[in-house]
Structure 1
Amino acid sequence: MQRKAVLESAEINRIVTAAREEALRNKWSVTVAVVDDGGHLLALERLDNCAPISAYIAAEKARTAALGRRDTKNYEDMVNSGRTAFISAPLLTSLEGGLPLLVEGVVVAAIGVSGVKPEQDAQIAAAGVAALCSNQA
């Protein structure tokens, strides 16, 4: 039988806090979502003045990164290069800003961010990932 790592509340809070701090440092109003490896929501924080739709989009970015086991930018790149069928794939958003969270090479969760430009969403998500990775070292 295999064993797998799972996030605990302390790690989830650290991820969200790091993402929030990155957003606030840049004066970006976003929503941050963290899901487990099955795409189930563990945390959601919508910063002041962020559009309500961003809560849905951030959660879907996180879910896509968790279930697809990859950065959502990969899907956006596929769509932009002509594989438009990915637009209609179930439970997928082909928008940059969702990143898987890995422990020992295995996806244990994912983070999704929505509210600013795609590369800025990804920058905030990367800060959340870095908070988890720095704790593993």
Structure 2
Amino acid sequence: MRTAIKLELEEAKIMIEAAKQKAEEINVLETIAIVDDGGYVIALERMNGARITGPEIAIAKAFTAAGHKRSTHLFNHYPNGPALPGNEAFGIQHMLGGKFAVFVGGFPIVVNGEVVGGVGISGGNGEQDTAVGTAALQALHDLLLETGHPVLVEADIKV
């Protein structure tokens, strides 16, 4: 048996607030989804005026990042090439019926080297979604800093 760290609503809310702050700072309307290690939504927020498609896209990005233990944009650099015809990962985005995303904006939440969830960002361009997602991860890192539970805070996470 081992003891597992679980991401809970309180942490998810802190991550969403930090993400919204960053989105406001860079002037982009985003939807932010935080999921647990099974890909189930803990918290979701669509900023006023953000696209109505944002929730489904953000959830798919967070689900993919948590479930596949890698940032979603890394599917564009998968071993042996991107998820395009003729390459190793081609078609992976069609698995799990619309729940899998292979473009920028999904990041696993890694605490103590273990994936405890995912964050998905939808609404901006790749650079904006990355900045907002990184802000969410940084907020969790800052929250847990004194507990001795390190959080990975980078865009290119692959566990």
TM > 0.5: yes
Do 2:109 and 2:119's aligned partners in 1 also have CA atoms closer than 8 Å?
Answer: yes
Aligned alpha-carbon RMSD (Å): 1.6
Matched ranges for 1:1-137 at <5 A = 1-77=1-77, 78-79=82-83, 83=87, 84-90=90-96, 91-137=99-145
TM-score (norm: length of structure 1): 0.92
Q: How many residues align?
A: 137
Matched residue SS, 2:21? helix
Q: Which residue identity lines up with residue 86 of structure 1 in the other structure? A: I
Q: 2: CA distance between counterparts of 1:16 and 1:38?
A: 19
Q: Per-residue displacement from partner, 1:18-42 (whole Å, max 9, x unpaired)?
A: 0010001111001000000000001
Do 1:35 and 1:66's aligned partners in 2 also have CA atoms closer than 8 Å?
Answer: yes
TM-score (norm: length of structure 2): 0.80
Q: 1 or 2, which has the higher helix percentage?
A: 1
- Bigger radius of gyration: 2
Do 1:75 and 1:86's aligned partners in 2 also have CA atoms closer than 8 Å?
Answer: no
Do 2:109 and 2:116's aligned partners in 1 also have CA atoms closer than 8 Å?
Answer: yes
Do 1:35 and 1:42's aligned partners in 2 also have CA atoms closer than 8 Å?
Answer: yes
Q: 2: CA distance between counterparts of 1:63 and 1:88?
A: 14
Runs of 4 or more above 4 Å deviation: none
Do 2:12 and 2:34's aligned partners in 1 also have CA atoms closer than 8 Å?
Answer: yes
Bigger mean CA deviation after superposition, 82-91 or 115-124: 82-91
